[in-house]
Amino acid sequence: MIKYFIHGIILFLLVNIAFAIVPASIDRNNIQVGQTFTLNIDVSHTNGTPEIDTLRNNFDILGTSNNSQMSIINGHMNSQKSIMVTLSPKTPGKQQIPAIKVGSDVTNPITIDVSKTPQNIMPKGDTSAQVFIDVSLNNSSTYVNVPVIYSLKLYFTAPLNNLSMANFDIPKAQIKPLVKNTQYRTKYHGKEYEVIEQKLLITPNKTGTTEIPPARISGLIMDHDSNNFFASPSNFNIQSKPLTINVLPVPGKNPQALLAKKLKVTDSWSVSLESITIGQPITRTITIEATGVPYNLIPELKFDTPKGVNSYPDKTLTDTSVVDDNLLGQKTFKTVYIPTSTGIIKFPETKIKWWDINKKVEKTEVLESKTYTVLTDGKKPVASFGVATTPQKPVKTTFKWWRYLVITIALCIIVLIIAVIIRRRLGLGRRTTQQNYTLLKKAIHDKDIKALNHALIALASSYTNKKIYTISDIKELTNNTTLHELIDKLNLALYKGYPFDEFDTLLEQINILSRGKKAKKADFLKNLYPE
């Protein structure tokens, strides 16, 4: 019996290790055909390399990079490593980012909705503009104190400098940034644009028409040719179109009513049995998700605590996010109840009234009542408030040595598995730089592009502390444009079957790079709105 039980524990541990889920997420949800977005894969707890080729059916893979972060929480140092893959969807509609293998693990799949590229966002149809602004609202009509999302997108084809935005004020509304700026690339009328996008939350406080003035941005357009030292920048001063919001009064008789497009309420109890014992904790968790409003418009819930029960409410958890271009406010209420007397305790039902913006009707969500019968724990006499109880004989317990044996064996197995994993990790990258260089020369001599790919990654890894997953990551370590072009050609040969015959040139550039100093990484564009 014990033998089979131990085998079951081993199998359970191996299955969970073999099929662990690697967290994956995307940087934004609203994506159009031709735009780019970033897939973030957390590789902090795995040694494998993501097999991203499975994405090529529905997406163009435009590059990869890696990121490492260190943090200290309560005196403990935590490290996080992630791989960021830049993708661009090929077709509109619902797209699936499939589960990606990372060694023996896999990522979680992600579903996204891709929309078509809009046709008329450029001012006056000027398709030759190097820089322009596009603004939009997620809703042109709302209610008092119910915010709308204002999206401002700055499109540009050449590097910009000295960006500044004129004062942006709306007398009848409050304005605040919703999320951090996002930057991506897109294609429009056959031209590639960089885009900086900022989302603002505009909350009108008066009924009627609220005018949103044009957004005005000025700055300098830099020359494309970075080798032209004498190129002079040119000034630009652009503005967006004005927009209007139709603001309606709060419907119904309650001016403090919760207004939402959709309301979802979940109510869960940690104990599903009808009978509990004195001192046994019960945790109740209620989560309210309101579509179309931030969390601060969701009302606080008040609960009556039954007689014979102590209650210990936790701090309310709140969050506001953007899902499918809609606000999603969330509040989570958690309370721990501990019965102190025997008897029947009843938690009454709770009603949440709200106004459905889409259907223009008042609705009520009902949290059902919950009843428990509290029994004595058999250890000490207690007060009762309605249920007669009879003393129970204490149950004689025996020492079950085999349980401790099984637990000890399971812990030994876990320690052994962890030791093997640590040993494998410490065993990576033992080849010296010279050995990696020798392998590189052999791959070039043999004109073996697959071996050359692995050799380049190994050689680059020996020169930096950063994790190098693909040869595209090497481009981040140097500003050698010739080497960048060779890496791009090698990628085309590896993944699309293009010919590659510049082996000697590649070796020459590697030799130049190894003798020189590392170039400083170029600065990226600053955020459109400074902190």
Residue 420's pLDDT band (boundaries 50, 70, 90)? low
Token pair of 375, please?
């029994």
Centre a 10 Å sphere on the Cβ of residue 70 and count the other Cβ atoms it contains. 8
Residue 523's pLDDT band (boundaries 50, 70, 90)? very low
CATH class of the domain defined by 123-248: mainly beta
pLDDT for position 518: 38
pLDDT for position 66: 84
Strands (E), 116-230: 131-137, 141-143, 148-156, 160-165, 173-177, 182-188, 191-204, 208-212, 216-221
| pLDDT (mean) for 182-192 | 86
Closest CA to 268 of 282, 251, 285, 245: 285
Closest CA to 462 of 512, 521, 510, 523: 510
Burial tier of 325 (Cβ tally within 10 Å: 0-12, 13-18, 19+): middle
How many angstroms separate the Cα of 50 from the Cα of each of 65, 90, 422, 530? Answer: 12, 21, 20, 35
Write the CB contacts of 22 (distance below 8 Å, at least 6 apart in sequence): 41, 42, 43, 45, 46, 50, 100, 102, 105, 106, 107, 108
Report the alpha-carbon angle 43-44-48, nearest 5.
Answer: 40
Spatial distance between the Cα atoms of 104 and 189, rounded to a whole number of angstroms: 43
Q: To which residue do tokens 């349980």 refer?
A: 403
pLDDT for position 6: 47
Spatial distance between the Cα atoms of 214 and 135, rounded to a whole number of angstroms: 9
Closest CA to 282 of 339, 328, 230, 225: 339
Residue 404's pLDDT band (boundaries 50, 70, 90)? low
pLDDT digits (tens, 9 = 90+) for 494-506: 776 778 888 988 8
| pLDDT (mean) for 339-350 | 91
pLDDT for position 130: 86
Token pair of 410, please?
């399971």
Query: Is pLDDT of 88 > 60?
Result: yes
Q: Do domains 123-248 and 258-375 have the same CATH topology?
A: yes
**Alpha helical stretches, state H, 427-480:** 433-446, 449-461
Residue 421's pLDDT band (boundaries 50, 70, 90)? low
| pLDDT (mean) for 252-267 | 86
Residue ranges of the domains in the chain?
22-115, 123-248, 258-375, 433-515
pLDDT digits (tens, 9 = 90+) for 442-492: 999 888 988 888 888 888 887 777 777 788 888 877 878 888 888 888 887
Helix, strand or coil for residue 283? strand
Task: Write the CATH number of the domain with boundaries 22-115.
Answer: 2.60.40
Least confident of 23-27, 28-32, 59-63, 513-517: 513-517
- CATH topology classification for 258-375: Immunoglobulin-like (2.60.40)
Residue 57's pLDDT band (boundaries 50, 70, 90)? confident
What's the mean per-residue pLDDT of the chain?
80
Write the CB contacts of 163 (distance below 8 Å, at least 6 apart in sequence): 217, 218, 219, 526, 528
pLDDT for position 104: 84
pLDDT for position 423: 55
| pLDDT (mean) for 321-327 | 83
Query: Is pLDDT of 524 > 50?
Result: no
Q: To which residue do tokens 């309310």 refer?
A: 316
Segment of 25-34, 214-223, 431-440, 494-503 carrying the highest mean pLDDT: 214-223
pLDDT for position 207: 92
pLDDT for position 429: 41
Spatial distance between the Cα atoms of 522 and 435, rounded to a whole number of angstroms: 31
Spatial distance between the Cα atoms of 111 and 62, rounded to a whole number of angstroms: 20
| pLDDT (mean) for 134-140 | 91
The phi, psi pair for 132, rounded to 5°, reads -155, 170
pLDDT for position 147: 92
Query: Is pLDDT of 431 > 90?
Result: no
Residue with the larger pLDDT of the pair 275 and 527 = 275
Spatial distance between the Cα atoms of 26 and 42, rounded to a whole number of angstroms: 11
Spatial distance between the Cα atoms of 300 and 120, rounded to a whole number of angstroms: 44
Residue with the larger pLDDT of the pair 512 and 374 = 374
Percentage above 90 pLDDT, the chain: 27
Least confident of 34-43, 68-77, 134-143: 68-77
